[in-house]
């Protein structure tokens, strides 16, 4: 791949300064780069268009871009932006300093608790992908990076597939991935379920973390494939009975009886000492959450005309009482003529039925789920503003956790519970909550 003038000068699009090379594959080179505006480090993946077009992989590159734009999760490498020149495509990605997880295993097997910590984070990331209809299909230790704090980050979605790439039989039909980590049904060139294939690869990864070597090994690739087909492997004597049981269920050569992610997360071995990486920062933040706001019990804030205009879009006040159309806003507002105490007790009722923790003052309520979801625990913040003494606006936002889980919580729990306190206009139209 020849260097463009911009690359030779070391500055891309006037924004990124290119540094040393971090790695390279068949179609891409990855450089360390610095964002000149923010001073922050990024990993710059540079893909040569000509080479990609020549082998008919342009669709795959476009897919990688669209997949990565959807993937906002603490255990997935983030794509900051995509740029292009006549001959190249540039991916500015999160720079993960700790190197590959593979380098850790190369030094020898991991202790069970360390292996579990990485495995929990891997499953959290893969569960998130699957919830968005995305299957990675090339999971292996080289695609698992570690940051300075030991947080695992899944990368290289070049082979991933959306659920809309399924054939009419609901299965994927392209063989890809790395032989030692690939599920038997993928090698068999028959249709396969992307989620089940990812689970197999996660099983191989867990085996490697605990054993320090691969479960299916043979110098002869045909003999290795035969072992994979039969699920022919042996756990070393130092594996605990629980880990042995879980790995055997993940490395089941029959995809229809192979364990699901939900069942992996319910297993006793997985649940033992859930890692900080899976617990996520928002829980610690909830513990100290707004001692400023909640602890001091500040009075309900009064909205003046300027507040109202800033909350609405222009002079159209309808957005004050409508759910934001843009999903990323993750907030809804409603008006009520009930006192703030009624709003707070309604929110407490919802929290009780769903086993959420509650912090409250006269003007705000903070809820936090107990179950760890796809992006940690779900956190919800409700703030109460007085437009007039007997007319309040309540703003509800997601403060942490997964958007999909938040939206489901709002539609199934929050809206039904708030129905009888939401203000109805004189025309009889209920303002949507």
The pLDDT assigned to 328 comes to: 45
Tokens (6 digits) for 137: 């299909």
Where are the chain's structural domains?
5-94, 101-278, 281-421
Taking the C-alpha atoms of residue 199 and residue 255, their distance in angstroms, rounded to an integer, is: 9
- Find out whether 129 and 142 touch, Cβ atoms under 8 Å: no
Annotated catalytic sites, by residue? 138
Q: 281-421: CATH homologous superfamily? A: Kinase associated domain 1, KA1 (3.30.310.80)
pLDDT digits 0-9 by tens, 91-122? 888 888 887 888 888 888 999 999 999 999 99
Superfamily (CATH H level) for 101-278? Transferase(Phosphotransferase) domain 1 (1.10.510.10)
**Helical segments of 143-240, H only:** 184-187, 194-211, 221-230
pLDDT score for 355 = 81
62/166 Cα distance (integer angstroms): 17
Give the pLDDT confidence score for residue 72 in this predicted structure: 80
> Whose CA is closest to 398, among 379, 372, 417?
379
CB neighbour list of residue 204: distance below 8 Å, 6 or more residues apart: 140, 180, 181, 214, 215, 216, 251
Q: What is the pTM of this model?
A: 0.60
- State the Cα–Cα distance between residues 152 and 428, nearest whole angstrom: 53
| Per-residue pLDDT at 117 | 94
- d(CA 396, CA 183) in angstroms, rounded, equals 44
Tell me the chain's radius of gyration from C-alpha atoms.
25
Chain-centre distance of CA 398, in angstroms? 15
Share above pLDDT 70 across residues of the chain, in percent, rounded to a whole number: 73
Strand partners, 145: 100, 153
Rounded distance between C-alpha atoms, residue 33 and residue 109, angstroms: 33
Q: What's the confidence (pLDDT) of residue 188?
A: 73
Phi, then psi, of 389 in degrees rounded to 5: -50, -35
**Is 41 within 8 Å of 62 (Cβ atoms)?**
no
Burial of 55 (C-beta count, 10 Å sphere; 0-12/13-18/19+): exposed
- Is 346 annotated in a binding site? The answer is no
Q: For helices 241-250 and 194-211, give the axis angle rounded to 10 degrees.
A: 150
Q: What is the pLDDT along the chain (433 residues), one digit of tens a residue?
A: 555 555 555 678 788 999 998 877 666 788 899 999 999 999 888 888 887 788 777 776 776 677 667 678 889 888 888 888 888 888 888 888 887 888 888 888 999 999 999 999 999 999 988 887 777 777 877 778 898 888 999 887 644 343 333 334 443 334 344 578 888 887 776 667 788 989 999 999 999 999 999 999 888 888 888 899 999 999 999 999 999 999 999 999 999 999 999 999 999 999 887 655 454 445 444 544 444 445 444 455 565 555 554 455 444 445 555 544 444 456 777 888 888 888 888 888 888 888 888 888 877 888 888 777 777 788 888 888 777 767 788 888 888 888 888 888 888 888 888 888 887 655 445 544 4
Helix axes 112-131, 194-211, angle to 10 degrees: 170
Region 5-94: CATH code: 3.30.200.20
């Amino acid at each position: 791949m020849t260097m463009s003038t911009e690359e030779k000068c070391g500055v891309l699009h006037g924004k990124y300064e290119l540094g040393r090379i971090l790695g390279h594959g068949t179609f891409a080179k990855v450089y360390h780069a610095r964002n000149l505006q923010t001073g922050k480090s990024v990993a710059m993946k540079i893909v040569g268009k000509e080479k990609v077009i020549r082998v008919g992989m342009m669709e795959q590159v476009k897919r990688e871009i669209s997949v990565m734009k959807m993937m906002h999760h603490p255990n997935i490498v983030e794509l900051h932006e995509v740029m292009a020149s006549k001959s190249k495509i540039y991916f500015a990605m999160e720079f993960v300093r700790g190197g590959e997880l593979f380098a850790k295993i190369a030094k020898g097997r991991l202790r069970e608790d360390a292996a579990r910590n990485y495995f929990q984070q891997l499953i959290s990331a893969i569960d998130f992908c699957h919830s968005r209809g995305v299957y990675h299909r090339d999971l292996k230790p080289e695609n698992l990076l570690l940051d300075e704090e030991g947080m695992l980050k899944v990368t290289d979605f070049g082979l991933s597939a959306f659920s809309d790439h399924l054939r009419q039989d609901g299965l994927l039909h392209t063989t890809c991935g790395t032989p030692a980590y690939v599920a038997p049904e993928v090698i068999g060139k028959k249709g396969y379920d992307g989620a089940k294939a990812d689970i197999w690869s996660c099983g191989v990864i867990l085996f490697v973390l605990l054993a320090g070597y691969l479960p299916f090994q043979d110098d002869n690739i045909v003999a290795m494939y035969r072992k994979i087909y039969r699920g022919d492997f042996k756990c070393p004597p130092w594996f605990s009975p629980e880990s042995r049981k879980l790995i055997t269920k993940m490395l089941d050569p029959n995809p229809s009886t192979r364990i699901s992610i939900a069942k992996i997360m319910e297993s006793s071995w997985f649940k033992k000492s859930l890692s900080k990486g899976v617990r996520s920062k928002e829980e610690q933040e909830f513990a100290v959450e707004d001692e400023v706001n909640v602890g001091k019990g500040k009075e309900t804030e009064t909205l003046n005309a300027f507040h109202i205009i800033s909350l609405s879009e222009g002079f159209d006040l309808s957005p004050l009482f409508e759910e934001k159309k843009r999903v990323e806003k993750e907030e809804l507002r409603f008006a009520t003529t009930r006192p703030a105490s009624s709003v707070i007790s309604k929110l407490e009722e919802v929290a009780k039925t769903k086993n959420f923790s509650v912090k409250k003052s006269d003007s705000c309520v903070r809820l936090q789920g107990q179950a760890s979801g796809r992006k940690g625990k779900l956190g919800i913040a409700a703030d109460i503003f007085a437009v007039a003494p007997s007319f309040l606006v309540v703003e509800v936002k997601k403060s942490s956790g997964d958007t999909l889980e938040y939206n489901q919580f709002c539609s199934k729990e929050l809206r039904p519970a708030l129905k009888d306190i939401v203000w109805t206009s004189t025309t009889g139209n209920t303002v949507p909550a």
